[in-house]
Amino acid sequence: MPNMAPLLTGQFTGSRSDQKKAKALSDAIDKSLRAEKERRQREGGMKLLILGPSETGKTTVLKQLKLLYSTRGLDSERQTYRRVVHLNVMKAIQALVEGLYDANIPLEKENQEHLKVLSQLEPTLNRYSISAMAQANPAIPRKITDAKAESDMFLVMVPAIKALWADTGIQQTFNTITHLHIQDSAKYFLDAIDRVSDPEYIPTDDDILQARVKTLAVSEHIFNIDNITYRIFDVGGQKSLRKYWAPYFDDVNAIIFMAALSAYDQPCEENPRLNRLQECLALFNEIANHKLFTMTSMILFLNKIDIFQRKLDAGSLVSKHFPEYRGLNDYYSTTVFFQYRFQQQCKDLEKQVYTHFTHATDTNQMRVIVVAVNAIVQRLNLHSSGLL
């Protein structure tokens, strides 16, 4: 193959005009190379993982992407989520009653009868699971549930649920016991009990975003964002499921790591002696310093800031659960502290962790954040390929 340098020398003299022409040709070649690289990226797609412990909002972010970038939005899942919402409501009132008993908070006398309804149905309720509707990992058995039986059970419970949710003792339990292991959407759905118990009820987009589904499988989803194809993988966050993450670690362009700030005063469900946010920090340390992610963009979502704010307002002290924190118990000071703690986990001081404080059920906020994340991923990918 002939060398390009003599060809250029023969075509152009040393005049200023020819130097400009040579520079223009060189720029055109660079532009062509850049366009070809971008075309390959569009066709091959960006691979993005959403990682983090369970109950941090990973699946909610995926739902938002479907709502924002899928042609059908959430329509294909609407009828299925009716069942999920009903189970969420029943699990929520069950957790509140357990919290009321544990705290020795009195229940109004006229509502004692409703507890009997709840206790009679409790063994049946515990049989039902709320698992992801994605393709199951063959290593993880899925429970088969009878949707009609669940619906009938829910309708029997509705009067008791309404009465108990209005009880002053249950309200006190919800408002004062901040470490209660209860789904974040409990108030949202319990306040809407009349609407969600209507025989003609069809879940809205907001209902689906609020509904809690336990992910028990790794699922792949494809989205087109600003003419770039993203292959996004959603995974189960429970400790027992993390062994299934490793096969998806190759050739990853970016990772969104989810952490729930609101978990700072909660124990892990799998290990009550371990703080949930401390466990999240340890997991982020593993991911941020993994040898396969040296060149991978790291994006941190410190999620559930709305619940975090509510807990601070209720008087839950960050210093009680993180003794090293000695600042004010306000939103600004505590979020700066937690952001610093997460950034400390990354041993490569040159690697930037892009942090967003998120409220994943807020579609308007997530729309803005997804645009920002897309810009970050594209810019860093072009930079790593030498095109910027």
Give yes or no for residue 142 having a pLDDT over 80. Answer: no
Query: pLDDT tens for residues 182-235?
Result: 888 999 999 999 999 998 999 999 999 999 877 666 778 888 888 888 888 877
Range of the domain at 316: 46-73+216-378
Query: What's the confidence (pLDDT) of residue 119?
Result: 75
pLDDT of residue 359: 93
Domain for residue 19, yes or no? Answer: no
Number of domains in the chain: 2
Distance of alpha carbon 79 from alpha carbon 368, whole angstroms: 29
Provide, rounded to the nearest whole percent, the portion of the chain with pLDDT above 70. 75
Residues 247 and 275 in one domain: yes
Share of residues in the chain with pLDDT > 90 (%) = 37
CB 275 within 8 Å of CB 323: no
Annotated binding-site ranges for Mg(2+): 59, 215
Tell which wins on pLDDT, 363 or 133: 363
The position carrying tokens 């292991």 is 181
Marked catalytic residue, from 41, 55, 167, 361: 55
Is 27 a residue whose pLDDT tops 80?
Answer: no
Same domain, 259 and 366: yes
Q: Is 102 a catalytic residue?
A: no
Annotated binding site for GTP: 55-60, 184-185, 209-215, 234-238, 303-306, 360
How much is the average pLDDT of 124-153?
50
Catalytic option among 77, 207, 234, 265:
234
Query: Residue 87 sits in a domain of what CATH number?
Result: 1.10.400.10
| Local confidence band at 140 (pLDDT 50, 70, 90 cut-offs) | very low
The reply to whether 139 and 201 lie within a common domain is yes
**pLDDT recorded at residue 32:** 56
From the list 239, 228, 261, 257, the residue with the least C-alpha distance to 346 is: 257
Among 40, 50, 52, 39, CA closest to 220: 50
Residue that is last in its domain, among 142, 177, 210:
210
Name every residue whose Cβ is closer than 8 Å to that of residue 349 and which is 6 or more positions away in sequence. none
Write out pLDDT tens, residues 297-312: 899 999 999 999 999 9
DSSP-derived pairing of the beta strands 46-51 and 254-260 = parallel
> Quick check: is 234 catalytic?
yes
Most confident region among 104-118, 247-261, 312-326, 373-387 by mean pLDDT: 312-326
Which of 210, 243, 275 is at the close of a domain? 210
Is 0.85 surpassed by the pTM of this model?
A: no
Annotated active-site residue 279? The verdict is: no
- From 86-90, 248-252, 324-328, the region with the lowest mean pLDDT: 248-252
Q: 342: which 2 tokens?
A: 């997460």
What average pLDDT does range 256-266 have in this prediction?
94
CATH number for 50: 3.40.50.300
Does any domain span residue 13? no
Q: Is 212 a catalytic residue?
A: yes
Predicted pLDDT of residue 8: 36
Task: Tell which of 210, 229, 256 closes a domain.
Answer: 210
Instruction: Assess whether 235 and 356 both reside in one domain.
Output: yes
> What pLDDT, on a 0 to 100 scale, did the predictor assign at position 141?
32
Overall average pLDDT of the 269-288 stretch: 90
Q: Is the pLDDT of residue 68 over 80?
A: yes
Of the listed 60, 173, 183, 361, which one is catalytic? Answer: 60
Q: Do 245 and 311 belong to one domain?
A: yes
Do 300 and 284 sit in the same domain of this protein?
A: yes
Is residue 28 in a domain?
A: no
In a domain, 101, yes or no: yes
CA distances from 286 to 200, 342, 345, 372 (A): 47, 12, 8, 25
Asked if 168 is an active-site residue, the reply is no
Domain identity same for 249 and 352? yes
Q: Which of 80, 171, 204, 238 is labelled catalytic?
A: 238
Residues 221 and 360 in one domain: yes
Binding-site annotation: residue ranges: 55-60, 184-185, 209-215, 234-238, 303-306, 360
Mean pLDDT of the chain: 80
pLDDT of residue 71: 77
